[in-house]
Structure 1
Amino acid sequence: MVVLNKIYTKSGDAGETALGNGDRVAKHSQRVDAYGTVDETNATVGLARLHASGELDAQLAMIQNDLFDLGADLCRPDMDKDADAAYPVLRMSGAQVSRLEIEIDAMTARVDPLRSFVLPGGSALAAHLHLCRTVSRRAERLVVGLSSAESVNPVAVKYLNRLSDWFFQASRIANANGKNDVLWVPGANR
């Protein structure tokens, strides 16, 4: 259980922060940038939820929780030392990826195939979900970059890859199952 009885600690005033294993690193490190962008993704999901209801809102709530799990996973380097940790280390699981795939498949069954690229927009919810998609893609790029330099749970990369696809399909659902998608017209303004 997390207990936050004091919000500011002053320990980061010199530009460093603590990772989940206690190591101190620069706040601009690749790892902090990666899990910080996961946190940013979570904030965009919160904005999208202002316009969501029912099943889609419930799924977004699960994604928000997953994104906290992902941040906890990413802030804890040295996967090979997990067994030595004083308490269980939280890592992303294949079940979380599988759940997204099942939900993507269900959404795909509800929409017509695309004949053009979709422009971000349509309904307010769809526009917010497109923002979630692009921020999660940036998080994915940062995590992939981090994984080329340091140890990263490969499931974290898979989750982010599926997540952006999930946001895309959810944006189509939010646009009346794709009927209100705004389609790209190549060269329309030449």
Structure 2
Amino acid sequence: MLLRIQQELFDVGAECACPPGGIPEQMSIIGTEEGERLVTEMNSMLEDLEPLSSFILPTGSPSVAHLHIARTVVRRAEREACAMRDEVRPEVISYLNRLSDHCFVLGRWITAKMGDEESLWTPLGKRD
């Protein structure tokens, strides 16, 4: 799963490096299928998870912590892509949006599979 996502991110990077309207025919480009696949994978993982009752603090095993970092990096890339909306295809922006959600759900799923507990955020007035 992660190796495929890495491949797709290289496709996104290659496309974004091309001048507007200059994507070579032989180049792989991200379409709606890749974003839909991420949603399908998320839905499968969510079946194993309890619904959220609070925000989650970005903690956990090294793998999960790295997924939280990856999620924030992908969110940043999505913001940059949105700022370049005229030069970036909507499928790329949609893919990045779904990928950040995917990183979040995958981190939760790994936490559950490892038998660890998620660190939930507690509002200021309710903390010890």
Residues in 2 aligned to 1:179 and 1:101: alpha-carbon distance in whole angstroms: 24
Higher helix proportion (structure 1 or 2): 2
Partner of 2:88: 152
Displaced runs of 4 or more, over 6 A: none
Instruction: Give 3-state SS (helix, strand or coil) of 1:112's partner.
Output: coil
1:186 aligns with 2:118: no
The offset of 1:64, in angstroms, is 0.5
Coordinate RMSD, CA, aligned: 1.8
Higher relative contact order (CA 8 A, sep 6+): 2
1:99 aligns with 2:41: no
1:139 aligns with 2:77: yes
Partner AA of 2:107 in structure 1: S
Structure 1, unpaired ranges of 5+: 1-58
Partner AA of 1:152 in structure 2: V
Q: Which has the larger radius of gyration?
A: 1
User: Do the aligned partners of 1:77 and 1:152 also contact (CA within 8 Å) in 2?
Assistant: no
Partner AA of 1:170 in structure 2: L
Partner of 2:112: 176
1:110 aligns with 2:53: no
Give the TM-score, by structure 2 length. Answer: 0.89
Partner of 1:126: 64
Higher strand proportion (structure 1 or 2): 1
User: Do the aligned partners of 1:134 and 1:164 also contact (CA within 8 Å) in 2?
Assistant: yes
Partner of 1:60: 2
The offset of 1:93, in angstroms, is 1.3
